[in-house]
Structure 1
Amino acid sequence: MTRPVDSGVILLARLMLAALFLWGGVMKLVGYAGFVGYLHSKGVPLVHIAAPVATAVEVLGGIFLVVGFKIRALGLFMAVYTIATAIIGHDFWNITDAAVQRDMVIHFWKNVGIAGGFLLLCVTGAGRISIDGARAPRGGLSSSL
């Protein structure tokens, strides 16, 4: 059970995470050919499947974050997705140029931090200001008897 202020903070966290993923997903759609080329350059197998899946995960995940739908499961899924994208997309250990490597290190650890935020959502849930919150039974004496 969360206090009203907690639900507001959880909503803000959801919206902040959603902004990142909605933006990324829309940019993948707008520059789809470039995204496919990037995946090819990283050696991602089955790019014809990976590209639309990644785009859908980011757009749909962002929408689910905004409305607060299935947040506990989404939090776990998005944490795993974010770590996977860190390993595939920010593989600093394969970079020889010092400036590019430093940039990739920052992006890698940023993704790890984002995954931590998703794990917190997995534990806290969506809060009251959400579809999940609206569907949850309200506590009270009658519900605990």
Structure 2
Amino acid sequence: MTWLNLVGIPFLIRFCLVVLFPFSALDKIFDWKGAMKQATSSVLPGGPVLLVIAIVVEFVCPIMVVVGWHDRLAAFLIAGFCVVTAVLYHKFWRYGDFWAKGDSQGRSHFWDFLKNFGLVGGLMLLVFSSALSPVQDVVAHPLSSSPYGMTQP
């Protein structure tokens, strides 16, 4: 095994998967008023507590994922965070301008909703997947597929 297979590629994959979360946490800190407005816009009570929990999850869990310390739990927590965020804060179906030409709040929320679920998929792969294929195998057989739905003992 090479350094690339053991450290480089896994680090890069994990980093890319979670890089946006710490920046999102910083955005919540620097725009506390705007973040609080969004946090209190859902049916969940306790806006300030929810906001602090979101900031902690967005700072701590990505570090856990990248360094591989309780990474499955951290990925699961971030995935749950993404589902809750999508369903409670990106209700694209509530906007009447979804089909309007030009800028649309409905379409903007639709894309954010789908992006959250795209992240959920990637994070759940981290939760449930096994080892990565070696770089040499991927390069040698670029059109091959991973074993879909197969589990290893």
Unaligned runs of 5+ in 1: 128-145
Query: What is the CA deviation profile of residues 39-66 of structure 1, one whole-angstrom value per residue up to 9, with x for unaligned ones?
Result: 2233441112111001111011122223
State the secondary structure of the residue aligned to 1:63. helix
Once the two structures are TM-superposed, the CA of residue 126 in structure 1 deviates from its matched residue by 8.8
Once the two structures are TM-superposed, the CA of residue 19 in structure 1 deviates from its matched residue by 1.2
Note the 1:78-117 alignment, pairs <5 A: 78-98=78-98, 99-117=104-122
Instruction: Give the distance between the partners of 1:55 and 1:123, measured in 2 at CA.
Output: 25
Instruction: Give the distance between the partners of 1:69 and 1:125, measured in 2 at CA.
Output: 16
Question: How many equivalent pairs are there?
Answer: 125
Instruction: Give the distance between the partners of 2:91 and 2:4, measured in 1 at CA.
Output: 41
Match of 2:41 in 1: 41
State the secondary structure of the residue aligned to 2:40. helix
- Label 1:73 to 1:126 Cα distance change in 2 as closer, same or farther (>3 A): farther
- Label 1:125 to 1:89 Cα distance change in 2 as closer, same or farther (>3 A): farther
Higher alpha-carbon deviation: 50-59 or 8-17: 8-17
Structure with the larger helix share:
1
Q: Is the 8 A contact 1:75 1:120 kept in 2?
A: no
Instruction: Give the distance between the partners of 1:112 and 1:83, measured in 2 at CA.
Output: 7
Instruction: Give the distance between the partners of 1:51 and 1:30, measured in 2 at CA.
Output: 12
Relative contact order (C-alpha < 8 Å, sep 6+): which is higher? Answer: 1
Instruction: Give the distance between the partners of 2:105 and 2:67, measured in 1 at CA.
Output: 37
Unaligned runs of 5+ in 2: 99-103, 133-153
- Label 1:125 to 1:8 Cα distance change in 2 as closer, same or farther (>3 A): farther
Once the two structures are TM-superposed, the CA of residue 116 in structure 1 deviates from its matched residue by 0.5
Match of 2:74 in 1: 74
Identical columns (%): 28
Instruction: Give the distance between the partners of 1:34 and 1:125, measured in 2 at CA.
Output: 40
Query: What is the CA deviation profile of residues 51-110 of structure 1, one whole-angstrom value per residue up to 9, with x for unaligned ones?
Result: 100111101112222322111111222211111111112111111222211111111111
